[in-house]
A and B are shown apart, each in its own frame.
Chain A
């Protein structure tokens, strides 16, 4: 791949393949009462865009003790809710993802981040399911977050925004789901931080989830993962343009620091094999080594990743969301026992890991499976063979897609089957 012309999709490095497919057309959904629709943007910088959103004036009580009111949740939906309201699929996005799952991104102009998974005829078939995705609490695509205006001051929240947790994100999603008139989600699915939210959903709202698909994730953030995040945060803090989080005052963004944070994080999303396959030790131009030019293709690639990221992401949001991931420890929320977290769930689970993922390796995913087994939950678990690292969940992995398709079909069949008669006791 010639690096002078960078990859068309910055978040999906290993694979240019999915770009030609048309995304799902988002359909408007009739929203029952419960909140105020607001399509006017209230944010303060160049990323300003009238995201579809809902405002909950009563707000949300956060884990940190603060009640955030009003609460704004920006979201997108695809497909149509059926008459029994039993076909809703909630997609939880990862750290730097957003609600634009299966349509052209309004800011970057790129295809939706999970176009390959979500759309007509795709594993998460928008002709079959009503797909919802919300920008996470603390995000920067229209949901309440440090970039949004604090109504009390008329200025962006910045670092005065309260600390948020994965559970807070899930509670905000629950408000949205209720607002859309959905009592029980057919499926909650997400990878990485999205997978953390899936686990949190199953633990916090066990009776509201039929099927849960945590992908490439874990029930806590490991010390190594926290360490990588800290490198990113320190890069942002070290950028003079960060200005203690009040960069909007000067009309600047800490682009340098945020780009470095992204570059460091991006390495963790790939694998050595994938980097070798894509770039090896190739030089970008010429044969001679010079010190100052970005000589290796892999360097050029990372710089490109960093520079495109800062155009769409807010540095303070990055600080808040990485913190939320670091705080996440589902077992700790349930007296130290992960099995206790899942005790009340009747959901069917499909846990998926990728063999070359070293950010959330198979062993970490397997801990979730073992906890689910400990409460005799209905769980499938598959490790997909892939050399693409953590990002494999976003890419063209046919075995992964076949797994999701098959699992969803089986859940649907189980849902439509008449309830089981009382268990016959054998022997």
Chain B
């Protein structure tokens, strides 16, 4: 990460602003994953946001700089925490299963859980916490209903591995996989309103079938949802 890259600081960056946290090479930081860009687009400027599983803090750095977001992060990998904090980001070492309970109600406008829900021990409890501490929850996860996953299991009889689910069963951190339709069903059970949703491909690009649940469930590699308490 921090792309110490060069020269072409965007014209939009006022000179008085301190050194950017993530150095962009064009209007938007090239280093940011596409799925994070989709998330960034969902966030209103000047809001408070908690990014759970924030990695090296790409999204936080971007939102702090370009959307004046008061951003916090939680990350389980200590090396990534150290890099984030050294960049000046408010990141703590912790994990979603354990540490969300300590935040007060409605502490944030947004809480982001990107490609992490399937790896937590109690996803339902974590979702509940997300919507307790924040008004909106932005959640993305790999879609286990993707046709390749279905086809691999059906035809080979082995656990599927795809670009998104790229590790064998014995070493994957993903313990609670679900499909896009499963997630809709959970939201309905728990009474969460789906404010926005998208089917996206592995790189995080929006996909043409993103508006149809059945098609998205078959063709989208990931689901990206913004929820609120109904």
Q: Are B92's CB and A379's CB within 8 A? A: yes
Knowing A375-B104, A427-B195, say if A383 contacts B93 (CB, 8 Å). Answer: yes
Residues B74-117 near A (CB distance < 8 A): 78, 81-82, 84-94, 99, 102-104, 107-110
Q: Is there a chain A Cβ closer than 8 Å to B181's Cβ? A: no
Please report whether the interface of chain B is mostly helix, strand, loop or mixed according to DSSP. Answer: mixed
Contacts of A381 in B (CB 8 A): 81, 85, 91-94
Q: Is there a chain A Cβ closer than 8 Å to B228's Cβ? A: yes
Identify which of B28-36, B40-48, B149-157, B209-217 touches chain A. B40-48
Identify which of A114-122, A146-154, A397-405 touches chain B. A397-405
Knowing A373-B102, A378-B72, say if A407 contacts B88 (CB, 8 Å). Answer: yes
Q: Are B109's CB and A426's CB within 8 A? A: yes
Contacts of A1 in B (CB 8 A): none
Give A372 to B126 CA distance when docked, in angstroms.
20
Q: Are B78's CB and A385's CB within 8 A? A: yes
- Our pick among B68, B82, B94 for the contact of A384 (Cβ within 8 Å) is B82
Q: Is there a chain A Cβ closer than 8 Å to B132's Cβ? A: no
Contacts of A420 in B (CB 8 A): 46, 68, 70
Q: Which of B92, B109, B135, B195 has the most CB of A within 10 A?
A: B92
CB distance from B83 to the nearest CB of A (A): 9
Q: Is there a chain B Cβ closer than 8 Å to A30's Cβ? A: no
Q: Is there a chain A Cβ closer than 8 Å to B136's Cβ? A: yes
Q: Are B103's CB and A426's CB within 8 A? A: no
CB distance from A215 to the nearest CB of B (A): 13
Residues A360-384 near B (CB distance < 8 A): 366, 369-371, 373-376, 378-384
Chain A's closest residue to B46 (CB) is A424
Give A310 to B66 CA distance when docked, in angstroms.
56
Knowing A370-B102, A426-B135, say if A376 contacts B88 (CB, 8 Å). Answer: no
Identify which of A68-76, A181-189, A408-416 touches chain B. A408-416
Q: Which of B17, B68, B88, B90 has the most CB of A within 10 A?
A: B88
Give A116 to B135 CA distance when docked, in angstroms.
45
How many A residues, CB 8 Å from partner?
Answer: 39
Contacts of A21 in B (CB 8 A): none
Q: Are A380's CB and B136's CB within 8 A? A: no
Give A39 to B90 CA distance when docked, in angstroms.
43
Q: Are A426's CB and B82's CB within 8 A? A: no
Q: Which of B70, B82, B84, B87 has the most CB of A within 10 A?
A: B82
Q: Is there a chain B Cβ closer than 8 Å to A5's Cβ? A: no
Give A140 to B84 CA distance when docked, in angstroms.
40
Give A379 to B74 CA distance when docked, in angstroms.
10
Q: Is there a chain A Cβ closer than 8 Å to B6's Cβ? A: no
Chain B's closest residue to A381 (CB) is B92
Knowing A350-B85, A426-B135, say if A373 contacts B92 (CB, 8 Å). Answer: yes
Q: Are B99's CB and A370's CB within 8 A? A: yes
Contacts of A407 in B (CB 8 A): 85-86, 88
Chain B's closest residue to A350 (CB) is B85
Knowing A369-B92, A370-B102, A375-B104, say if A424 contacts B86 (CB, 8 Å). Answer: no
Q: Are B102's CB and A382's CB within 8 A? A: no
- Our pick among B19, B72, B91, B135 for the contact of A427 (Cβ within 8 Å) is B135
Q: Are B18's CB and A413's CB within 8 A? A: yes
Q: Are A348's CB and B90's CB within 8 A? A: yes
Give A380 to B75 CA distance when docked, in angstroms.
11
Knowing A385-B78, A407-B85, A426-B109, say if A380 contacts B90 (CB, 8 Å). Answer: yes
Give A424 to B89 CA distance when docked, in angstroms.
21
Contacts of B93 in A (CB 8 A): 366, 381-383
Q: Which of A348, A380, A385, A399 has the most CB of B within 10 A?
A: A380
Contacts of B46 in A (CB 8 A): 420-421, 423-424
Q: Is there a chain B Cβ closer than 8 Å to A16's Cβ? A: no
Contacts of B135 in A (CB 8 A): 426-427
Contacts of A416 in B (CB 8 A): 18
- Our pick among B86, B94, B136 for the contact of A406 (Cβ within 8 Å) is B86
Residues A340-361 near B (CB distance < 8 A): 348, 350-351
Give A403 to B70 CA distance when docked, in angstroms.
20
Residues A56-85 near B (CB distance < 8 A): none
Knowing A382-B78, A383-B78, A421-B46, say if A413 contacts B88 (CB, 8 Å). Answer: yes
Give A385 to B68 CA distance when docked, in angstroms.
32
Q: Are A380's CB and B89's CB within 8 A? A: yes
Q: Are A427's CB and B92's CB within 8 A? A: no
Q: Lowest 6 A-B CB distances belong to which pairs?
A: A410-B88, A406-B86, A426-B44, A413-B18, A381-B92, A376-B107
28 residue pairs of the A-B complex, CB under 8 angstroms, read A350-B85, A371-B102, A373-B99, A374-B104, A380-B89, A382-B78, A382-B81, A382-B82, A399-B82, A406-B85, A406-B86, A406-B87, A407-B85, A409-B18, A410-B89, A413-B18, A413-B19, A416-B18, A421-B68, A423-B46, A423-B48, A424-B47, A426-B43, A426-B44, A426-B47, A426-B135, A427-B44, A427-B136
Binding site for A on B (CB under 8 A): 17-19, 43-48, 68, 70, 72, 78, 81-82, 84-94, 99, 102-104, 107-110, 135-136, 195, 228
Q: A380-B89, A406-B87 are in contact. List 10 more A-B contacts (CB 8 A).
A: A366-B94, A375-B104, A381-B94, A382-B82, A384-B82, A402-B82, A409-B18, A416-B18, A417-B17, A426-B109
